Amino acid sequence: MTEQVFAVIDATWPPAARSEAGGFVIREGKGGGSRVSAASRGAPWEACDLEAAIVAQRALGQSPKFQIRPGDAALDTTLEARGFVVTDPTVIYDAPIDALQGEVPPVTAFAHWPPLQIARDLWTDLGIGPARQAIMERADAPKCCILGRKTDRAAGTMFVAIHDGVAMIHALAILPEMRRMGLARAMIHEAARWAAENGAHRMMLVVTEANAEANALYRVLGLEMIGRYHYRSEAAK
């Protein structure tokens, strides 16, 4: 399951480019955040391989960062000894598509692609700017934007893409004043409906452990925590 999870993440939220250095996968993120810029272990490694990965990331103008997945305890310990600090502990959730389908009130959420300008503007206003929206453009189809509406206005948006029968949710953003009103739930139900129609049988998402409100919602909806990962980032000097 672990290998499939990270294959789905990479396919549905892809970096601008991938290469290898010392057996590590090097991602070029172009400002799109940790998931598309962190290196990950691709093969057994030694100290010289780790150094090659660090050099390769710096050559891209990126601060060295590694995604620490299940089974990466030795890498985690080595990076800690080098002064790399833990950032963004993250939870992976999964559920069958059927378990996430539910009633969507009229004109509350709808799937479409390419995103309407109002959806793009919402993402930008809520901190998901051009660099992250470019990731969505790179992802292979099938994919969609879910636009959510509340009190007769656009109030939320998210991105969904499918790989290997798994739909993954990314970039879920709701206006602060529209939270805790059932909109995210309706948008996830709409995402499940769209995903089922496009051949997906499971849905996954990742969220930081610090986002207590989102974690609570996903558990209530029936999503099951199936794993965790975190990053090790070079400490600021």
Using a 10 angstrom Cβ sphere, with 0-12 exposed, 13-18 middle and 19 or more buried, the burial of residue 136 is buried
Closest CA to 157 of 128, 122, 129: 122
Residue-level pLDDT at 49: 94
Sign of CA dihedral 174, 155, 35, 235: negative
Parts of the chain with a pLDDT under 70: 1, 237
Spacing of C-alpha 192 from chain mean position: 17
State how far Cα 219 lies from the chain centre: 17
Whether the ω angle into residue 114 lies within 30 degrees of 0, i.e. cis, is: yes
pLDDT at position 224 = 96
pLDDT at 80: 97
**Tokens representing residue 82 in the block:** 């080098």
Task: Give the per-residue pLDDT at 1.
Answer: 62
Whole-model pTM?
0.95
Write down the pLDDT at residue 43: 84
